[in-house]
Structure 1
Amino acid sequence: MSSTPHVVLPWVVRRTRLPLLSKRCVDCPSESATTGKGRFRVNANGKLLDVWLLVRCVRCDRTSKLTVHERTPVSSFAPDTLHGYHRNDPALVAATLLDPALTRRGHVTLDWTGACRLDTTTVPCDTWPIQVEVTFADPVPVRPERLIAYGLGLSRSEVLRRVTCGVALNRTTRTGFTFTLLARE
Structure 2
Amino acid sequence: MLSWTVRRTRLPLLSLRCLRCRAAVATAAEGKFRVNANGKLLDVWLLVHCVSCGQTSKVTVHERVPVRSIDPVRLHAFETNDPALVAQTLLDPLVARRNRFALDWSDAWCLVTPPGPPADAGWPIRVEVEFLDPVPVRPQRLIAQGLGISRSETERRIKCDVPLVRRTSTDFAFIVHPGPQGWG
Please confirm whether the aligned pair reaches a TM-score higher than 0.5, indicating the same fold: yes
Matched ranges for 1:120-159 at <5 A: 120-124=113-117, 127-159=122-154
Match of 1:116 in 2: 109
Question: Residues 1-185 of structure 1 correspond to what in structure 2 (within 5 A)?
Answer: 8-124=1-117, 127-184=122-179
Q: RMSD of the TM alignment (CA)?
A: 1.5
- What's the offset of the Cα at 1:91? 0.7
Q: Identify which range, 165-174 or 69-78, moves more after superposition.
A: 165-174
**Match of 1:101, SS?**
helix
What is the number of residues matched between the two proteins?
178
CA distance in 2, matches of 1:136, 1:103: 20
Which residue identity does 1:178 align to in structure 2?
A: A
Q: Distance in 1 between matches of 2:26 and 2:159?
A: 38
Stretches of structure 2 lacking an aligned partner (at least 5 in a row) = none
Q: Which moved more, 1:76-85 or 1:149-158?
A: 149-158
After the TM superposition, which of the residue ranges 147-156 and 52-61 deviates more from structure 2? Answer: 147-156
User: CA–CA distance in 1 between the matches of 2:115 and 2:76?
Assistant: 44
Moved more, 154-163 or 81-90: 154-163
SS at 1:84 equivalent: helix
Which residue type is aligned with residue 177 of structure 1?
Answer: F
TM-score, length basis structure 2 = 0.91
3-state DSSP of counterpart to 1:35: strand
